Structure 1
Amino acid sequence: MFLPLHDGVPLQHMKTPVVARSLIVICIMVHLVFVYGPLSADEMVGGFGLIPAVLFGYERLPEGYPFVPVWMTLVTNIFLHGSWFHLIGNLLFLWVFGDNVEDAMGHLRFLLFFLICGIAASFVHAVASFSMVGASMPESFILPAPERPLIGASGGVSGVVAAYVILYPRVRIWALFLGGIPLRLPAYWAIGFWFAVQFVSAFFGADEGVGWFAHLGGFIAGAILIPIMRHRYDPVLARAAAQELQTPR
């Protein structure tokens, strides 16, 4: 539905977004282990993915699983991806938006921000999946099954997207829409469209394999945290950057 390509906003306070780039490298390395390592995909997902029913103690995995304490799967699931397409999609969002958010926060704060958003996203997904157990829900609502594992960085990435649109709402970004249409739109339009898709899909989407509620949870966490955690952000420079990028050349 929406795939960002380029924004062109220059960094103001650092030369290299070390954390954003490091997270990209880590996710790629973990995926290489996921694909080519000694453990099968099912073992990796069972050992490091977040399973809501297990997190809340209603189900137990076979002996030896998970490979980390259950609470830690709120974090470890962030770095697993089910396919190269899943991985590249998340990392492209992080590549386009992460540098400017890290620039506004600094390295350490950005790392904490990303992890907190990812954890919040995982927890919201787990709560949403468990709300269907024993509850009478409208037939149109399609909530995730509590036994289905959650993996992927999209929750943390969603927090980064929320931070970016708050910091640079009027900056025009190039993105692919609706299956490949290239458009250059203000961030608040592009990301607003993306958020609307996530919201509708979370309750009425047909694909139960996507962590829609994780996307919403990460986005809300990012929107709450960015006013607290930004410390090197100048709104005057942000407006100037938006105006400069909109000026025809």
Structure 2
Amino acid sequence: MFVPLHDTNPLKRIRYQYVTVALIVLNVAIYVIFQTGWVIPLGEENTAAFAVIPAKLMASGPGDGTMFASGAFMPERFTLISYMFLHGSWIHLIGNMLFLWVFGDNIEDAMGHVRFLMFYLMCGIFAAVLHSWMLPNSDMPLIGASGAVAGVVSAYLILHPKVKVWVLALWRIPIRITAAWALGIWIVVQVGSICFEGEESIAWWAHIGGLVAGAVLILFMRRRGVILFDKTRGGA
């Protein structure tokens, strides 16, 4: 498996990737404040309330949701957004944020700030919906930005397959390869894991859902003039 470190793909249409950085900061802040137990411990029960639980989501109606002790009510369908901002561990968080940092800026560049935020959330929502459709009786909470980040990955692969990317191969060997190889292998692993592993503890279907959503949405949400399958290899 490859861990992305840096791509040689400068921004062309925006001055800075504000949405990408804001998403990373928000994910890290939520994990530090609520999930580490250092500031305001969320607890397993409350964490599950913000997670997507397929069995609850598929059985819920418009008025169903979670009533907290404070009296606040959260509709069940809100978890399709809230689950993206919770993570199970530091490794889970860092892995997702690395992918978002390396590849998110160029997708934001191709769409603009507002459309990129919509794209990110839509990929995450579709990822959770597909996961729930495929495992409708599962009581295991789904959390993490993996589905949304998978959408970013597939969009990047469609836009910039030739760009060179620095990655850590086998978690320790730095190599420079094209995005087509780095991200293509990552995608093959996701698909293969469903066929040969199928472990419910890892949301492979959410990854697939995000990949499909990103591949479709990039076709319609990119700016006018942004070409598909760009043959340039990026900057220095």
> Normalised by the size of structure 2, how large is the TM-score?
0.89
Q: Which secondary structure does the structure 2 equivalent of 1:30 belong to? A: helix
Count of matched residue pairs:
229
CA contact (8 A) 1:13 1:103 kept: yes
Distance 1:39 1:62 in 2: 18
Query: Is 2:159 the partner of 1:167?
Result: yes
Query: Is 2:129 the partner of 1:123?
Result: yes
CA contact (8 A) 2:67 2:73 kept: no
CA contact (8 A) 2:84 2:144 kept: yes
Q: Determine the structure 1 residue equivalent to 2:43.
A: 41
Distance change (3 Å), C-alpha of 1:114 and 1:63: closer
Q: CA deviation at 1:237?
A: 11
Q: Determine the structure 2 residue equivalent to 1:87.
A: 93
- The percent of aligned pairs where both chains have the same amino acid is 45
Q: Determine the structure 1 residue equivalent to 2:17.
A: 17
CA contact (8 A) 2:146 2:207 kept: yes
Q: Quick one: which amino acid aligns to residue 80 of structure 1?
A: L
Distance 2:53 2:221 in 1: 30
Distance 1:77 1:236 in 2: 31
Distance change (3 Å), C-alpha of 1:51 and 1:181: same
Q: Which secondary structure does the structure 1 equivalent of 2:74 belong to? A: coil
> Normalised by the size of structure 1, how large is the TM-score?
0.84
> What runs of 5+ residues in structure 2 fail to find an aligned partner?
none
Kindly provide the CA deviation profile for residues 61-108 of structure 1, in whole angstroms up to 9, marking residues without a partner as x.
986499621011111000000111110100000000000000000000
Distance change (3 Å), C-alpha of 1:62 and 1:154: closer
Q: CA deviation at 1:207?
A: 4.2
Q: CA deviation at 1:203?
A: 2.9
Distance change (3 Å), C-alpha of 1:205 and 1:61: farther
| Candidates 185, 191, 198, aligned match of 2:190 | 198
Alignment of 1:73-152 (within 5 A): 73-130=79-136, 146-152=138-144
Distance 1:98 1:237 in 2: 17
Return 199-208 or 95-104, whichever deviates more: 199-208
Q: Determine the structure 1 residue equivalent to 2:204.
A: 212
| Candidates 162, 174, 179, aligned match of 1:182 | 174
> What runs of 5+ residues in structure 1 fail to find an aligned partner?
134-145
